[in-house]
Amino acid sequence: MNNNINKEYLKMFEQLIKEQLERAERLKTGSEFTDYTSASKIVVGIIPGDGIGPVIMNETVKVLNVLLTDEIKSGRIELRPIEGLTLENRVAKGETVPSDVLAAIKGCDVLLKGPTTTPDKNSGLPNLESANVTLRKELDLFANVRPVSIPELGIDWTFYRENTEGEYSLGSKGIVISDDLSVDFKVTTMAGTERIARAAFEFAKANGKTRVSIVTKANIMKKTDGKFLDLCYNTAKDYPGIKTDDWYVDIMAANLVNEDIRAGFQVFVLPNLYGDIITDEAAQIQGGVGTAGSANVGAKYAMFEAIHGSAPRMVADGIADKANPASIMKAAVMLLRHIGMTEKADKLDIAVNTAANALNMSGTADGNSAREFSEIVLKSI
Ligand code: IPM
Ligand code: MG
């Protein structure tokens, strides 16, 4: 075996660290949040995505066209279809988000996005980064906000998942040193952590929440999660009315299914990967990953999406029409709230719950269809 470290790898590592230091520096400049309530025109980019994406998006756009008839007519809101964020086009261009598509996306204010497929390692397709991850980074959508609510169980959780760093920063830039050794990287920056912590505590304060729980694995990931934990507690000092506690991610996974204590949690702040995992668990407790919406919020842009994937199995089985549009519609609810249309958001939220209660959206051949779902939503709004 050759134990001499190939100098190439050290160079790669040096380059990665340089880029991350530059990013950490850029982040410190911060920027102002867009206020949509006074905007004369808001462009909503519609990105259907892959697999079941076009099916559920189609139904959602039907609903939005009805809900926003007046605003669309007056020109205050434009629903703008964005084409080309498909696996076929991404593979053909060899780009995760082809540059013309990215330019079209950047011409919008907010985005509603269906699930996009990421080629997996053994698919024979190029090793493209997840389009989600690329968009989150490109548009600097640092806060992934995922609400989960089950009123009958007293559960009202809001997750603030850090969305641009952690294991995802360099997720596609790990290094295979040899057959015997692979290395991935995890990144935590001061500014990146402070802004997600601030967002979580500000949300708590503005919404009368009294508790924020920090979730890490700082006993093992001492440098990255350790920094995350310390900085969150530091931010907590500015919110004396809010009780702050912290948990390791493993016991938090258990807490969420512990009926004696789970309703006591309110707001969570977590690094990227733990947020990914814990929010799927939370969504499942609510009724399935098809039931939860997700907001990716930055200072300038915001992107709203379903938290589930593109369900290639449903497409292969010929039952894509049975996909549950609840999650993407919940994302549309969050989008409407984000642009200040609270009443319409509430209306849509109630309608989606009505449809969800009336139908069997099992995603199987004998379940109800996305179209039946939107028909009930349309009737109810
Ligand atoms: C999510 C998804 C994404 C993630 C995937 C599709 C890259 O699981 O939004 O939670 O890991 O963040
Ligand atoms: Mg996920």
Give yes or no for residue 167 CB within 6 A of ligand 1: no
Give the per-residue pLDDT at 301.
Answer: 95
Residue 2 has pLDDT above 60, yes or no: no
Closest CA to 345 of 281, 295, 296, 290: 295
Mutate to test the pocket of ligand 1, among 117, 118, 132, 273 (most ligand atoms within 8 A of CB): 132
Residue 8 has pLDDT above 90, yes or no: no
Mutate to test the pocket of ligand 1, among 113, 118, 130, 142 (most ligand atoms within 8 A of CB): 130
The per-residue pLDDT for range 233-248, each reduced to its tens digit, is: 999 999 999 999 999 9
Closest CA to 339 of 311, 285, 379, 303: 303
Give yes or no for residue 307 CB within 6 A of ligand 1: yes
DSSP string, 24-70: HHHHTT--PPP-GGG-S-EEEEEE--STTHHHHHHHHHHHHHHHTHH
User: For 9-31, what is the mean pLDDT?
Assistant: 90
Which atom of ligand 1 approaches the CA of 276 most closely? Answer: 10
The per-residue pLDDT for range 245-284, each reduced to its tens digit, is: 999 999 999 999 999 999 999 999 999 999 999 999 999 9
Give the per-residue pLDDT at 3.
Answer: 58
Residue 55 has pLDDT above 90, yes or no: yes
Res. 37 pLDDT band, cuts 50 70 90: confident
- Which ligand neighbours the alpha carbon of 303 most closely? 1
Ligand 1 atom 10: residue of nearest CA: 276
User: For 177-202, what is the mean pLDDT?
Assistant: 94
- How much is the CA Rg of the chain, to the nearest whole Å? 21
Q: For the chain, what is the mean pLDDT?
A: 94
Give yes or no for residue 215 CB within 6 A of ligand 1: no
The per-residue pLDDT for range 105-150, each reduced to its tens digit, is: 999 999 999 999 998 878 888 888 889 989 998 999 999 999 999 9
How many Å apart are CA 223 and CA 245, to the nearest integer? 19
Give the per-residue pLDDT at 4.
Answer: 65
Better-predicted residue by pLDDT, 230 or 126: 230
CA distances from 318 to 217, 312, 367 (A): 41, 10, 13
